[in-house]
Chain A
Amino acid sequence: MYFDQEKISKREFVKLSLAGIGGIILATNSLKSAKVMTTSLFNSVPKVTKTEAKYYKKTSRGYECELCPNFCILKEGKLSSCRTRLAEAGKLNTIAYNNPCSVNIDPIEKKPLYHFYPDSNSYSVAIAGCNLHCLNCQNYSLSQVSPLETRSYDLSPEKLVKDAEAAGCKSIAYTYSDPVAFYEYTYESAKIAREKGIKNVFVSAGYINEKPLRDIAKYLDAANIDLKSFNDETYKKLNGGTLQPVLDCLKILHSEGVWLEITALIVPQWSDKMDEIKKMCDWLVDNDLADYPLHFSRFFPVYKLKQLTPTPLDTLVKAREIAQKAGIKYVYIGNVPGTEANNTYCPKCKKLLVERKGYSITQNDIVKGLCKHCKEKIAGKWE
């Protein structure tokens, strides 16, 4: 190479170095402004409280987490796929405890839960992390990072329940990311909330193993579970999971007496095939889940799935018709303001029972859980 053939003498090297230093001094002025900006990139200080995780075992390959179907095997110092469980000091810890990054008071209709104490408020809380990795996650800024990376509140389960109570909320919703990823915090909070008479709402993708689900279901009053598609391949490619555990979750929650509502986001090219929607609805009916509301939700391009169009309204309407024909009693369309498909109609006399405008109820003809007109029982938890 040329610099081998033409070696630089010591004298030349010194001259060259001096020239280089001169150049650096000249450029220093320009570097100052960059320094301000680059240091300002890392200014958040996340709060992390560690507590021992539930559901894991030690194996020869590391700590095997048994919370969800991912069954992560973690070596010392490694984080789980959901980014909340850390193998450390001879045990598996969760770092998603006492440190929610988002706390809001939302109308229960926003979860969405339409048949669960309508018009009430839900104290909504999330800790960063999620055990699925959906390409279209609308809350990716908090679900696809670890609690080590988010700004967070210092909020113990006791304080959470106290705050929810003080805010006059009927329920606490464990939501936005996925409560499976902050299971221990949800579990402890739900236990305390139950004692205080506050309802617990589990808003999740339902990707969880049977034992932990049955354990926490004792304290849950309602759940909204995302049924992201009825195709295992789609689950693998779009969400990084599988279908069967979600179906199992729906059956388990039903058997445990937890009020259920199901959300199916219709994503063009992925979950908008009508034959699959038909299969999904048939499965819900066959498994005794036809009384639970089904929300078909409109997709908007977001996160990594930005090269698609939003779901056409006609597609959502067709999906709703299929579900109704299959025997699902309460089918709604979500993410579309102003549609009549937000209202509840009596499955027997077909009369309008609950009129929803936005997140508010402008008419409610359900009396003691019955249709005011024909006395048909309307499934749900009503005041």
Chain B
Amino acid sequence: MVFTAAGAFLKRFVLKKNNILVLGILHIVFAMIPLLQIMLMIWLRNAFVPAGAILEFSQIIVVCITVTFVFSALSGFLFVAYSNILSDIKKKSMTGQSYVIESLGGIIGGIIVSFVFIWFGFTFQHIMLIILVNLSMIIFVAAKNKSHILHGLGLAGLLSLVLMFFFYDFDKKYFAELFPGQKIVKLSQNPYGKIIITETDGQTNIYENTKLFWFDEDVIKNEESVHFPMLQHKSPQTVLVISGGLLGQYNEIKKYDNTTIDYLEINPGIIELIRSDSMFSDPGLRTIKSDVRSYLSDCKKSYDIVLLNVPEPQTLSQNRFYTTGFYEMLKTVMNDSSVLSLSYPAEQFYLSDESLKNHEVIFNTLKKVFRYVEIIPGVSSYFLASDKAIRSDISELYSRSPVENQYVTNLYLDDANTLNRQSQIYASFTDNGIINTDKMPVVYQNQINYWLSSVQGIRFNPILIISIAAGLFMLLFLFYKPDAAAMLVTSFTGTYVEISLILFIQIMFGTMYYMTGIVFTAFMTGLVAGGLAGSRMKIRNYQNLMVIFQLIVFAFSAGIYLMMRFIPLENQNWKSYLIILLLIFVAAFLVAFQFSLISKKRIEEVVKSASMNYSSDMAGGAMSAVISTVLLIPLYGFVNSALIVTAMNFLTLVYLFIRKKKLQN
């Protein structure tokens, strides 16, 4: 969005007179860029990143900038150019209408991606299709304008595209590059993402969205995750397994007599993929394809053991598995002697400060809900929670149990050692009492700090980063004319609302692939409606209108704050979902409405204003996308970050009021 803003702004100085041939060539380049972007990403990765290594923070930044720079800048540039052409044809400012057309394109694109692409084809096939649409449009425009050169270029592009499509399997090549040294056995895609099965030297590996999900012979993890909690129970009969593929855990659970398993998997594709495994012929195994919270809120059963195999809290939406609200829901399907187990990655011999912080927060959060909580240090840290006392002498428990293991045995585990490691963890706790909630994602914040400091070697200084972000925003705010500055803040607010409400939906309903299209459509529809309403509105007093409009944006942001504060996230509620969709629509409506209002300029002002307004809109959105997800929500939580956005809108209102006389259309 930053580069889009820059591209839009650049149009003021470059190619002032629109030339169909030049614009056509630029559009051909624009259409081909996604293909080049992915190839560039693969090349950059192979050239600069050691095999199998994660990207360094600086590399992530460089790759992001390198691959998005030209595409985004061209996107902004072309928007302003096309909007100017439209205005020239209609002899009046058509910037607002262009915005509406762009949004309509967004809606159609969003619907196609959400409802078609997720079911059919792979990345490169989609890209090819998009290039095809763009080239066809260029050929059509070239023919209409009798630009023979452009026509020829378009046809040449089309021909090379068809040749590439038939003679080169980009997707296969892409996955081969992504998983070097591994044989791709199966690729499948569903709305939850891609599932890839690979084979290396007889070992089967399953990836979910390029993350290793399961592999053969993971004896230690399978045994620790099952036996640490199950050895605690006198007679575990009913087991709820939440996510994790079950393949490794099934045989371990079945070592206990008469156990029945309810296996809940969020991604139904995983179940389909492993369906052929013999374990599915077991009548004691029931599979549930559902979101966890959705299942728990309707579940009437009581389980002896709950194995929670959820990912680390690496995203704001994954934080939902580490909150008091979620643990309270889990407790409703447990009885007095039930045991809950969840693991959190831990270094074996020394926990870094950041890792220790999350150990303490998760411990505190569980303790808020369960009477007894213990951390059993294994290859990961296992958090066991129950209303019955938990024992940490696993080796002793094993020696009294009839099960036979390879790793969780008294031959491998030494209780004194376990207790020593456990006491080291407890002794390092600060007793700060901090807990993790859906609205205050402390665990996610700590996880970012952990990743930055322990893995990337970067010390995160939130105060410094906030100061830089606030300073940059202030500079940009003062750089723009007052109405464009207000646009900056409204766009910031709109994006903040969209992001935070999408996260709200994710917390309530889980992975929201099915809902992505609906949310996206709600936002884009809001943009279209706002754009149309704004461009049709007759302006009598521009100055008053802008101040009143800003008052409305302020009131809206205050409303969002109140909603954040009072809407409960613990239970799924379709009314809440509809309210959220409506609010997303309103946020987008306000952004587009204001854009249309401030774009109503005299025809000679169109180029200047279109680039200025579009760039402020994009800049506000871009800054919000980064600041909201990296700083505001992780650091301050949902409620307090909404309060900060409300304060920003209040200050903007005051600013507009003071500078009312400078407002001109």
Tell me the smallest distance from the CB of A360 to a CB of chain B, in Å: 4
One of A22-30, A190-198, A215-223, A280-288 at the interface? A22-30
Per-residue interface assignment for chain B, residues 350 to 362, with 1 indicating a CB less than 8 Å from any chain A CB and 0 otherwise: 1111110100000
Report which of B51, B481, B659 forms a contact with A12, defined as CB distance below 8 A. B659
Per-residue interface assignment for chain A, residues 35 to 74, with 1 indicating a CB less than 8 Å from any chain B CB and 0 otherwise: 0111011011000000000000000000000000000000
Given contacts A19-B654, A358-B409, contact A105 B53 (CB under 8 A): no
Cα A16 to Cα B652 in complex, Å, equals 10
B82 within 8 A of A: no
| Chain B residues whose C-beta falls within 8 Å of the C-beta of A138 in the assembled complex | 347-348
Most chain B beta-carbon neighbours within 10 Å: one of A8, A141, A267: A141
B349 with A104: CB separation less than 8 A: yes
Per-residue interface assignment for chain B, residues 407 to 423, with 1 indicating a CB less than 8 Å from any chain A CB and 0 otherwise: 10101111011001100
Shortest Cβ distance from A238 into B: residue: B50
| Chain A residues whose C-beta falls within 8 Å of the C-beta of B434 in the assembled complex | 36-37, 40
B414 with A107: CB separation less than 8 A: yes
A309 with B205: CB separation less than 8 A: yes
A338 with B219: CB separation less than 8 A: yes
| Chain B residues whose C-beta falls within 8 Å of the C-beta of A33 in the assembled complex | 440, 636-637, 640
B414 with A139: CB separation less than 8 A: no
| Chain A residues whose C-beta falls within 8 Å of the C-beta of B349 in the assembled complex | 102, 104, 126, 139, 142, 176
A2 with B481: CB separation less than 8 A: yes
| Chain B residues whose C-beta falls within 8 Å of the C-beta of A30 in the assembled complex | 636, 639-641, 643-644
Shortest Cβ distance from B219 into A: residue: A337
Report which of B203, B220, B454 forms a contact with A309, defined as CB distance below 8 A. B203
Complex A-B: 6 CB contacts under 8 Å: A20-B651, A36-B434, A41-B357, A105-B417, A309-B203, A312-B202
Given contacts A33-B640, A106-B417, A338-B406, contact A362 B411 (CB under 8 A): yes
Cα A19 to Cα B200 in complex, Å, equals 64
A139 with B348: CB separation less than 8 A: yes
Tell me the smallest distance from the CB of A355 to a CB of chain B, in Å: 11
| Chain B residues whose C-beta falls within 8 Å of the C-beta of A107 in the assembled complex | 414
Closest 5 CB pairs of A and B: A30-B640, A358-B412, A358-B411, A312-B203, A308-B52
| Chain A residues whose C-beta falls within 8 Å of the C-beta of B205 in the assembled complex | 309
Footprint of A on B, CB under 8 Å?
50-54, 180-182, 198, 200-203, 205, 212, 215-220, 347-355, 357, 406-407, 409, 411-414, 416-417, 420-421, 428, 430, 432, 434, 440, 442, 445, 449, 454-455, 457, 462-463, 478-481, 635-637, 639-641, 643-644, 646-648, 650-651, 654-655, 658-659, 662
Given contacts A2-B481, A30-B636, A140-B347, contact A309 B651 (CB under 8 A): no
Per-residue interface assignment for chain A, residues 134 to 170, with 1 indicating a CB less than 8 Å from any chain B CB and 0 otherwise: 0100111110110000110000000000000000000
Q: Give 14 A-B pairs besides A23-B647, A23-B650, A269-B180 with Cβ atoms closer than 8 angstroms.
A: A23-B651, A30-B641, A30-B643, A34-B462, A40-B357, A140-B347, A141-B351, A150-B350, A176-B350, A268-B200, A308-B51, A312-B203, A313-B216, A358-B409
| Chain B residues whose C-beta falls within 8 Å of the C-beta of A257 in the assembled complex | none
One of A204-212, A244-252, A299-307, A321-329 at the interface? A299-307
Cα A238 to Cα B51 in complex, Å, equals 9
| Chain A residues whose C-beta falls within 8 Å of the C-beta of B413 in the assembled complex | 358
| Chain B residues whose C-beta falls within 8 Å of the C-beta of A140 in the assembled complex | 347, 454-455
Tell me the smallest distance from the CB of B502 to a CB of chain A, in Å: 21
| Chain A residues whose C-beta falls within 8 Å of the C-beta of B220 in the assembled complex | 337
Cα A232 to Cα B430 in complex, Å, equals 45
Most chain B beta-carbon neighbours within 10 Å: one of A20, A40, A360: A40
Tell me the smallest distance from the CB of A72 to a CB of chain B, in Å: 18
Cα A238 to Cα B53 in complex, Å, equals 9
Given contacts A305-B53, A337-B219, contact A105 B420 (CB under 8 A): yes
Report which of B52, B200, B462, B478 forms a contact with A38, defined as CB distance below 8 A. B462
Cα A208 to Cα B654 in complex, Å, equals 66
Tell me the smallest distance from the CB of B156 to a CB of chain A, in Å: 38
Q: By DSSP majority rule, is chain A's interface helix, strand, loop, or mixed?
A: mixed
Given contacts A306-B52, A309-B182, contact A144 B457 (CB under 8 A): yes
| Chain B residues whose C-beta falls within 8 Å of the C-beta of A238 in the assembled complex | 50
| Chain A residues whose C-beta falls within 8 Å of the C-beta of B352 in the assembled complex | 141, 145
| Chain B residues whose C-beta falls within 8 Å of the C-beta of A338 in the assembled complex | 219, 406-407
Cα A19 to Cα B479 in complex, Å, equals 19
Cα A27 to Cα B646 in complex, Å, equals 9
B412 with A309: CB separation less than 8 A: no
Tell me the smallest distance from the CB of A312 to a CB of chain B, in Å: 4
Tell me the smallest distance from the CB of A307 to a CB of chain B, in Å: 5
B181 with A269: CB separation less than 8 A: yes
| Chain B residues whose C-beta falls within 8 Å of the C-beta of A313 in the assembled complex | 202-203, 216-217
A15 within 8 A of B: yes
Report which of A34, A106, A141 forms a contact with B636, defined as CB distance below 8 A. A34
Cα A126 to Cα B424 in complex, Å, equals 15
Report which of B411, B412, B640 forms a contact with A29, defined as CB distance below 8 A. B640
A357 within 8 A of B: yes
Tell me the smallest distance from the CB of B483 to a CB of chain A, in Å: 11
| Chain B residues whose C-beta falls within 8 Å of the C-beta of A176 in the assembled complex | 349-350
B52 with A44: CB separation less than 8 A: no
A117 within 8 A of B: no
Most chain B beta-carbon neighbours within 10 Å: one of A34, A107, A270, A318: A34
Tell me the smallest distance from the CB of A283 to a CB of chain B, in Å: 24
Shortest Cβ distance from A359 into B: residue: B412
Shortest Cβ distance from A5 into B: residue: B481
| Chain A residues whose C-beta falls within 8 Å of the C-beta of B637 in the assembled complex | 33
Given contacts A23-B647, A34-B462, A40-B430, contact A307 B52 (CB under 8 A): yes
A40 with B432: CB separation less than 8 A: yes
Cα A19 to Cα B651 in complex, Å, equals 6
| Chain B residues whose C-beta falls within 8 Å of the C-beta of A318 in the assembled complex | 201
Shortest Cβ distance from A145 into B: residue: B352
B478 with A15: CB separation less than 8 A: no
Shortest Cβ distance from B412 into A: residue: A358
Cα A126 to Cα B352 in complex, Å, equals 14
A89 within 8 A of B: no
A6 within 8 A of B: yes
A26 with B643: CB separation less than 8 A: yes
Tell me the smallest distance from the CB of A47 to a CB of chain B, in Å: 14
